Amino acid sequence: MNLSRCLPSAALAMALASPLAAQTLTITTSGGDYGAALRDALWAPAAAELGFEMREDSQSDSLAALRMQVMSGAVSTDVIQMGSLEAAQAATMDLLEPLDPEIVDIDGLPEGARNDYCHPFDSYGTVMAWNTETFGDAPPRSWADFWDTETFPGRRALRANAQDLLEIALLSEGVAPDEVYDVLESGDGLARAIARLEELKPDVAVWWSSGAQSTQLLKDGEADLVVTWNGRAANAAADGGAAGYTFAGSVIGTDCLAVPAGAPHPEEAMKLIAAMTTAEREARLTDHILYGPVNPAAYETGLIPEDRLELLATAPANAGSSVYSDPAWWVAHGQEAQIAFDEMMNR
Amino acid sequence: MTGTAAMTAPATPDRDTRAGLRRDARRERAFFLSLSLPALLLVGLCAMLPIFWILRQSVMTLRGEFTLANWEKLLSSALTWKSVWTTVELSGATLVLCMALGIPLALALASAPPKIANRLLILVMLPLWTSILVRTYGWLVLLRRDGLVNQALTGTGIASEPLALVYNFTGTLIGMVHFMLPLFVLPVYAAMRDIDGNAIRAAASMGASLPRTLATVVLPLSAGGIRSGAMIVFIYTLGFFITPAVLGGGQVSPVAIRIEKVMSTFQDWGQASALGVLLLILVAMAAAMLAAARRLIGRKGKTHA
């Protein structure tokens, strides 16, 4: 009761106190625990600093929601959180405002992660996980080991999707991390990756389709070697599963922040993105969720405890042999790659 | 109402009475038709409209222009035909297993004393009250590598190492048969229960053996129930999604799974719609085939008599 009477006057007081009338910005995230983490660590403190009022919206399918808003000409959101691949698709459909490099520090990001439309701020790794009961003290250490079915016999589980697996297939053949997309871009690169996956196919017991399923497979010992996301592998171990995993050769995916084309407050939105992605805020996000910062300076803040560091895909000790998933390649070749992958799976 | 109308109509010219009766009959039909109007409206809005919308979408580009590209892509892809074949294979195998397990079960139920039959029937119905998701995951727990079934098999020495019972065709089939069996047994049981006991006694008194009685009396008389059961099983399973998704482990991909895949990985609504229409055609073809089979058997039945 009191609160409801209090709030408008508090807003009014703030509006009067700030030099400009407070802007109300709308942010769209995927909601749930993740959305709450983004609020508490990133946008709520950033907005308080800039004196913005905020409205929160949540959408499970950011691309569909964005498309709907832009197509109907009724854009209500100023900042939208997306997966980098969806964002790249959105950019090709002219659904995003290009980011202003004067406001958002694009060049401060690692080379593979830079993006002109959607600013990556957190990351997860697609990693190799294994059953520690099966392999004991001599677990597989690299993707080459993952393919070595003689030294490491056992049932494999892979995601039923070409994403990350093509990169991993090439890494397993000894392609250097920074050359993976050059090889894929070259004439027979895709065919080479698919052929490598087909080689492993007889040992693939399950093609999983949801992250939860991959955790379950690992925890139950249904599969001995699993390609999964680092958070999922950590979950399996935390739930008492005999699971180990390594970031060696992980494929890093990122989530990013973008401004929809025709957003009501584009300039303020970019300022908000810049304030959300400072080294400190990205470091703080890891208190809430195991998504590693993309801003390299976050690791120099000393805000991330040692025992957290080893769980993050982009931590300096983990990222050495990693590949940043390249949204541009996937937007250009995703269709072709997925079809080739599907045909391989069903052969 | 009809009765009173006919009574108060002038008794003499016979023609007028008949016309009145006809008029009343017409009114009655119109009345009953109007009763079904809400249901028709609902079916029209909730079933027919979306189907037309899907049909329309299957021949549209993203920008809303007419195109046959979706269909060309679909029909020329080996993945489509493979998934159609997997669908038919799954539904066919489910049907065969349901018949092999369901007909003896229905027979046992129908020949048991009513009191026991009713209790057994509750047991048959029980799975229907559980969510398909729960049942499917239940099978996962039972059938996986260190699941109960494999533990029992390896523990008793029947199998030397765990069998691959799930994340493949076998596991999917087990889950589907389990789901469909009650739906098959119910109509078959209903048909068998309605068989006049005298017909069976007559066959027995004429010296027919049990198998002969079954083959010449019981099965032909319950053919209607078996047919409806088969129709339900086959057509229902053509669109199955959850069971192959959970128990198939990516190794089994019928049309329903393909639709999801096309939507989620390619965001290709046009092609997914075309696949949906293809599934609909498949269902219609199956229904037509079963109907034709019924007519054929019906005719044969008549020449017998």
The pLDDT of residue B267: 75
**Beta strand pairing call for A53-58 and A24-29:** parallel
Which residue ranges make up each domain of chain B? Answer: 84-304
Does residue A225 share a domain with residue A154? yes
Residue type, A134: T
The pLDDT of residue B12: 57
pLDDT band, residue B1 (cuts 50/70/90)? very low
CA atoms lying within 13 Å on the CB side of residue A315:
21
CA atoms lying within 13 Å on the CB side of residue A339:
12
**Is A206 close to B146, i.e. CB distance below 8 A?**
no
What's the rounded Cα separation, in Å, for the pair B183 and B178?
A: 10
The three-state secondary structure class of A244 is strand
Residue B197's Cα: distance from chain center in Å? Answer: 29
**Is B266 close to A222, i.e. CB distance below 8 A?**
no
The pLDDT of residue A15: 46
With CA atoms as reference, report the closest residue to A165 among A24, A318, A323: A323
The pLDDT of residue B300: 58
Does residue A342 share a domain with residue A292? no
Chain A residues touching B167 at Cβ < 8 A: 205-206, 222
* Cα angle: A169, vertex A175, A177; to 5 degrees: 95
Chain A residues touching B164 at Cβ < 8 A: 205
Chain A residues touching B242 at Cβ < 8 A: none
Measured between CA atoms, how close is B84 to chain A, in angstroms? 13
What's the rounded Cα separation, in Å, for the pair B273 and B71?
A: 10
Number of compact structural domains in chain A: 2
CATH number at residue A77: 3.40.190.10
Residue A263 lies in a domain: yes
For every residue of A103-167, DSSP letters joined together read TS--TTS-GGG--SSEEEEEEEEEEEEEEHHHHTT----SHHHHH-TTTS-S-EEEESSSTTHHH
Residue A213 lies in a domain: yes
What's the rounded Cα separation, in Å, for the pair B224 and B221?
A: 7
Chain B residues touching A205 at Cβ < 8 A: 164, 167, 249
Does residue A264 share a domain with residue A196? no
With CA atoms as reference, report the closest residue to A314 among A167, A124, A114, A108: A124
Nearest residue of chain A to residue B247 (CA atoms): A206
Measured between CA atoms, how close is A213 to chain B, in angstroms? 9
What's the rounded Cα separation, in Å, for the pair A211 and A3?
A: 41
The pLDDT of residue B305: 38
* Cα angle: B218, vertex B222, B228; to 5 degrees: 155
Q: Give the CATH H-level superfamily of domain B84-304.
A: MetI-like (1.10.3720.10)
* Chain A / chain B CB contacts < 8 angstroms: 41
Residue A155 lies in a domain: yes
Does residue A74 share a domain with residue A223? no
Residue A9 lies in a domain: no
Q: Which two tokens stand for residue A180?
A: 């993976």
Does residue A327 share a domain with residue A211? yes
Chain B positions with Cβ closer than 8 Å to A: 78-79, 82, 144-146, 164, 167, 245, 249-251, 253, 261, 265-267
Does residue A228 share a domain with residue A340? yes
The tens digit of pLDDT for each residue in A299-338 reads 999 999 999 998 999 999 998 889 999 999 999 999 899 9
Range of the structural domain that residue A336 is part of? 125-251+323-346
* pLDDT over 60 at B5, yes or no: no
Nearest residue of chain A to residue B266 (CA atoms): A335
What's the rounded Cα separation, in Å, for the pair A189 and A194?
A: 9
* pLDDT over 90 at B20, yes or no: no
Chain B residues touching A335 at Cβ < 8 A: 266
Measured between CA atoms, how close is A30 to chain B, in angstroms? 17
Q: Which two tokens stand for residue A343?
A: 């045909």
Residue type, B93: A
Q: Which two tokens stand for residue B33?
A: 């038709």
Measured between CA atoms, how close is B185 to chain A, in angstroms? 33
Helix axes B114-125, B78-111, angle to 10 degrees: 160
For this complex, say whether ipTM is above 0.90: no
Does residue A133 share a domain with residue A106? no
The pLDDT of residue B299: 65
Does residue A239 share a domain with residue A336? yes
Does residue A189 share a domain with residue A62? no
Torsion of CA A138, A143, A147, A152, to 10 degrees: 10
* pLDDT over 50 at B130, yes or no: yes
Residue A178 lies in a domain: yes
What's the rounded Cα separation, in Å, for the pair B148 and B57?
A: 46
**Is B249 close to A206, i.e. CB distance below 8 A?**
yes
Does residue A150 share a domain with residue A92? no
Q: Which long-range contacts (CB under 8 A, 24 or more apart) does A192-197 make?
A: A193/A165, A193/A166, A193/A167, A193/A169, A194/A166, A194/A169, A194/A340, A194/A341, A194/A344, A196/A147, A196/A169, A196/A170, A196/A172, A197/A158, A197/A165, A197/A166, A197/A169, A197/A341, A197/A344
Nearest residue of chain A to residue B83 (CA atoms): A346
**Is A343 close to B78, i.e. CB distance below 8 A?**
yes
pLDDT band, residue B13 (cuts 50/70/90)? low
The tens digit of pLDDT for each residue in A112-145 reads 899 999 999 999 999 999 999 999 889 999 999 9
The pLDDT of residue A6: 46
What's the rounded Cα separation, in Å, for the pair A2 and A20?
A: 28
Chain B residues touching A338 at Cβ < 8 A: 265-266
Chain A residues touching B261 at Cβ < 8 A: 160, 342
Residues of chain A predicted below pLDDT 70: 1-21
* pLDDT over 90 at B276, yes or no: yes
Mean pLDDT calculated for residue range B148-162: 90
Which of the residues A209, A220, A226 would you substitute to probe the B interface, choosing the one with the greatest number of B C-beta atoms within 10 Å? Answer: A209
The pLDDT of residue A21: 58
The pLDDT of residue A26: 96
Residue A17 lies in a domain: no
Measured between CA atoms, how close is B114 to chain A, in angstroms? 45
The three-state secondary structure class of B292 is helix
Task: Give the lowest-confidence range in A5-9, A169-173, B238-242, B262-266.
Answer: A5-9
Residues sharing a CB contact under 8 Å with residue A16, sequence separation 6 or more, in sequence order: none
- DSSP class of residue A21? P
Choose the closest CB to B79 out of A161, A222, A343.
A343
Does residue A107 share a domain with residue A163? no
Helix axes A165-172, A189-200, angle to 10 degrees: 80
* pLDDT over 90 at B175, yes or no: yes
* pLDDT over 50 at B304, yes or no: no
Choose the closest CB to B167 out of A205, A338, A343.
A205
What's the rounded Cα separation, in Å, for the pair A29 and A66?
A: 11
Instruction: Please say whether the beta carbons of B174 and B181 come within 8 A.
Output: no
**Is A345 close to B250, i.e. CB distance below 8 A?**
yes
The tens digit of pLDDT for each residue in B283-303 reads 999 889 888 887 887 665 554
Which of the residues A159, A197, A200, A207 would you substitute to probe the B interface, choosing the one with the greatest number of B C-beta atoms within 10 Å? Answer: A207
Chain B residues touching A161 at Cβ < 8 A: 265
* Cα angle: B259, vertex B264, B265; to 5 degrees: 105
Does residue A247 share a domain with residue A170? yes
Choose the closest CB to B250 out of A206, A220, A222.
A206
Nearest residue of chain B to residue A222 (CA atoms): B145
**Beta strand pairing call for A79-83 and A243-258:** antiparallel
Mean pLDDT calculated for residue range B102-123: 91
- In angstroms, how far is the first alpha carbon of chain B from the final one? 41
